[in-house]
Amino acid sequence: MDTRVLENPMAAKRRAVAVWEHDLLKGSGRFKVDSGAFPEMPVTWAARTEASGGKTSPEELLAAAHASCFAMAFSAGLGRMGTPPERLEVAATCTFDKVGDGWKVTTMELQVVGRVPGIDAAAFAEAAQKAGAGCPISNALKNNVEIRVTAKLG
């Protein structure tokens, strides 16, 4: 009997390819996503740890992924409460810092401003705190990266 866990055939898969050339400090890389949602993007160590210089970084992409995912999870939660949002704006700030001898994503700060009819500020803030439970990116980071959420109606 085959005891391997079979993958859900309906599972969504997304793919990106990165190429890096030369050493870490002087080298550079680029990545592209199969969806074609944006063009091939350049990355360098300097763009990751100093000024971006028009290049992106894994941490910036992680922040974009987290902001998008959290907005979707928060919207779903508010909808289940019977107070769907008119608008949510989620700003995510990912901190990449030297820890000991290595580098680590240490924190992710999510700042949410929402326009939600029929909800007060306390209920909105509480719903924002709970949104992390439904956010797959929050769950992927949980117990490894400190996640802070601040929320206000605006």
| Domain coverage including residue 127 | 58-153
Whether residues 43 and 88 fall in one domain: no
Whether residues 69 and 49 fall in one domain: no
CB of 25 within 8 A of CB of 47?
Answer: no
Whether residues 86 and 35 fall in one domain: no
Whether residues 36 and 84 fall in one domain: no
Q: What is the pLDDT of residue 8?
A: 82
Residues paired with residue 108 on neighbouring β-strands, in sequence order: 94, 147
Would the pTM of this model clear 0.85, i.e. be above it? yes
Helix H or strand E encompassing 46: helix 45-49
pLDDT tens column, 72-112: 999 999 999 999 999 999 999 999 999 999 999 999 999 99
**Tally of domains in the chain:** 2
Q: How confident is the model at residue 3 (pLDDT cuts 50, 70, 90)?
A: low
Query: Which residue intervals of 96-149 are DSSP H helices?
Result: 121-131, 136-141
Whether residues 37 and 74 fall in one domain: no
Whether residues 132 and 114 fall in one domain: yes
Q: Which two tokens stand for residue 110?
A: 């999510």
Whether residues 37 and 97 fall in one domain: no
Name the residue among 126, 127, 130, 121 with its Cα closest to residue 153. Answer: 121
58-80 and 121-131 helices, crossing angle to 10°? 120
Q: What is the pLDDT of residue 5?
A: 66
Residue-wise burial string across 119-131, b where 16 or more C-beta atoms lie within 10 A, e elsewhere: beeeebbebbeeb
| Mean pLDDT, all residues of the chain | 94
pLDDT tens column, 125-148: 999 999 999 999 999 999 999 999
Whether residues 46 and 116 fall in one domain: no
CA dist., res. 150 & res. 136, Å (int)? 19
Whether residues 69 and 143 fall in one domain: yes
pLDDT at 123 over 60: yes
Whether residues 135 and 88 fall in one domain: yes
CA dist., res. 108 & res. 58, Å (int)? 13
Name the residue among 39, 40, 44, 42 with its Cα closest to residue 22. Answer: 44
Q: What is the pLDDT of residue 10?
A: 83
pLDDT tens column, 24-79: 999 999 999 999 999 999 999 999 999 899 999 999 999 999 999 999 999 999 99
